[in-house]
Amino acid sequence: MNKRSSIAFGVALGVILGILLSVSVGVVADREDGAGAALPVEDLRRFTDVYMRIKRNYVSEVEDRELLDNAIKGMLSGLDPHSAYLDENEFRDLQVGTSGEFGGLGIEVGMEDGFVKVISPIDDTPASRAGIRAGDLIIRLDDTPVKGMTLSDAVSMMRGKRGTDITLTIMREGEDSPLRITITRDVIRVQSVRWEELEPGFGYVRITNFQARTARDLVKAVESLRESGPLQGLVLDLRNNPGGVLNGAVGVSDAFLEDGLIVYTEGRLQESQFRYTASPGDVAAGAPMVVLVNEGSASASEIVAGALQDHKRAVIMGAQTFGKGSVQTILPLAQETAIKLTTARYFTPLGRSIQAEGIEPDIKVDSLLVSRSEDAAATRVSEANLQRHLDNGNEDSDSGSDDNDAGKQEEAQEDNAEPLAQRDYALNEALNLLKGIAILGRRTNS
């Protein structure tokens, strides 16, 4: 680097330092509580020193934007598993995804020990049809090792044009060697609500994820089930539902609750604190309900389960849920980018924080035990297993009192002539419970 370049580079670093200092001072000035202090000059100098050494000494030249993008990613990824920097493509994908259509394989993933861990596959997608399961650990994408990748890079590799193949090498509990599964990419159009009549008077509604239109589609589904006569019981299936739009969860809960609190959030800032209450009307007309959950039920699905459980509107059946009790806010930035930042925890109507704990079902029917694997419990993936997960908040006095397949259905037989409840152990148990409640109700009335 010549003298002129060194001077120019020093000026650039000085500008960066000055901007950071001015921003930090402005932030402190805007804070009403006066807590905290301006970013320390020494730490900013250390940052610029590292920046300068990379520019001068790295084996190949690195663009300024790449370095600054990586610095932003590092700041956010060091907070918790759900805060992240979204570049142009990722921000666009997020916007498309909440509308119910996106490209890829159809799996909800997280990062664990440097590898990609499957939280849950999405119903009727290439991943679910290929047999990908919650808890699978992806160690290679084609011939590229995942170790050392960011989650964003791994997701970008899994996305691609419709009709192209990618081979996932996965580690699965109970398997002696890695599995290689080739999946053909497709456009993922998620129908978030499906329904059918299990038996006369007993309905089944499955929500795969929560989108902007989910509550509206749920109401239509239940109304359709009631056309043939009054409901004696309803099963709401939220297994392996990774969450999605917070308003979708609020709307679904509201559909079954006549009044009262649905969920509330608490964060450091006033604008992060919300309370959602139910409006009059129950689309199921008070019919007994069972909500099915498992270790893949996360975020928005836990809001619904928690609300219906606290109001004693439904029996929660299945396995302990994932435990993602935090709210992520999308904050747009310049150049069509954004940050996804954890801004609050959410609480059930009775003040329970499920963060890193999950929803405890009223009746346990562990989907992992259904597979008869002796070591199945070790495969459970939960929020508490993720590195840098947010603590529960109940034990933190400063905290006060969301944000994006039915059980083991990937193992179900292809013979769809067999009734759904007979192919699904947990669903069959839910149906039997509802029948028992109906019989008891008739005896009581007589």
Q: Is-contact 325 386, C-beta < 8 A?
A: no
What is the Cα–Cα distance from 267 to 109, expressed in whole angstroms? 25
Residue 221 exposure: Cα atoms within 13 Å on the Cβ side: 25
Instruction: Identify residue 7 by its one-letter amino acid code.
Output: I
Closest Cα partner for 288 from 217, 236, 328?
A: 236
β-strand 144-145 against 137-141: which pairing, if any?
Answer: antiparallel
36: phi > 0 → left, psi -120 to 50 → alpha, else beta; which?
A: left
Dihedral sign from CA coordinates of 65, 70, 73, 78: negative
Q: Is-contact 70 87, C-beta < 8 A?
A: no
Residues sharing a CB contact under 8 Å with residue 225, sequence separation 6 or more, in sequence order: 195, 197, 203, 205, 231, 234
Show which residues are catalytic: 299, 310, 324
